[in-house]
Homo-oligomer: A and B are copies of this chain.
Amino acid sequence: MDIIEKIKDFAGRFNQGLDAYFPMPQTLDCRVVEAMKYSVKNGGKRLRPFMLCETAKIFGVEENVAMPVATALEMLHSYSLIHDDLPAMDNDDLRRGKPTCHKAFDEATAILAGDGLLTYAFGIISSDSLRISPQIRCRLINMLSSAAGSFDGMVAGQMIDLAVENSDLNKIQNKESVIKRIEELKTGRLLRYACEAGAVLGGADEKERAAIVEYSRKIGRSFQIVDDILDAIGDEKLVGKTLKKDKNQNKLTFVNLYGLETARKMSDDLIAEAKLALSVFGEKAFVLHELADYMGSRQY
């Protein structure tokens, strides 16, 4: 099986498990649960859950032990997409080729569906039904709150991104450091969480954990650069969202900043560095190696 098949295979198992997380209430309040389910089930490659489970496997953790944590992470990721798409934020109508949550339902329902998914993510990881010690569960929750949060996490990244969009680009000093910080927070922190959570689940020692974090940082930066490249020259049908938005909007992207060729070179270097960080694990990290190559060359 090549990496694309492995990811698809995993996504199949992941998706199959999703329904059990959404018992439909038999009352007036099923609308918000429907909106949550609609958004989480709306395609997606399940890259973060895949990364989490594959990292955990390096340390001998079975997929079905890691899966609930991976599911919580994907729910949190889905919440961030729902809220990012809102009219007051990026105002997007399409997500993976389908109407965004506030288009398919309405704005109030979309806000509540995002709130519901974010809240649920922490409920899932804290559950006593997991085969994970309370100590590790608390650590996973604390890390997730920090990765997704407003101090040095995803919410902070979205805030800076909006601030930059609303400002005059010419007035921004150190464009490179600003864009790096946005991508590190907005996309990087959750990708890093995926890997680091897998390592923490598996009881990684300091050196191993540092190697995994290094890998995830490089992967995360490449991920955003490839996103920018796809926005500039990708196939709209494959990518499943409105492209070339960055060019029209007042947006700081790697492609706008460095040009296509340099951006591509940066991404390639990061992928090579990410793989190098895995050397401590030898053969055991084979799938993460493959994943790095895939992420550097993906077409959607």
Q: What residues make up the interface of A, taking CB atoms closer than 8 Å to B? A: 23, 25, 27-29, 31-33, 36, 79, 83, 86, 88-89, 106-109, 111-120, 122-123, 126-128, 133-135, 137-139, 141-142, 144-146, 148-153, 155-160, 162-164, 178, 181, 185
Contact = CB atoms under 8 A, between A and B. Distances in A.
A23 B150 CA distance: 11
Contacts of A153: 119
Contact of A160 (B28, B113, B128): B28
Given A156-B32, A159-B29, A123 B111 contact: no
What copy number does this chain have within its complex? 2
Given A32-B156, A134-B135, A137-B134, A123 B150 contact: no
Contacts of A138: 126, 128, 134, 137-138, 141
A144 B125 CA distance: 13
B155 A116 contact: yes
B83 A115 contact: yes
B126 A145 contact: yes
Contact of A31 (B33, B122, B148, B159): B159
- Which among A36, A134, A144, A149 has the highest number of chain B CB atoms within 10 Å? A149
A181 to B, nearest CB: 7
A158 B115 CA distance: 11
Nearest to A156: B29
Contacts of A118: 115, 118-119
Nearest to A28: B160
A107 to B, nearest CB: 4
Contact of A156 (B25, B89, B137, B146): B25
Nearest to A159: B32
Contact of A120 (B109, B116, B149, B185): B149
16 contacts: A25-B156, A28-B163, A29-B150, A29-B156, A33-B150, A79-B115, A109-B162, A114-B115, A115-B150, A116-B155, A118-B119, A122-B145, A123-B146, A126-B142, A128-B142, A134-B134
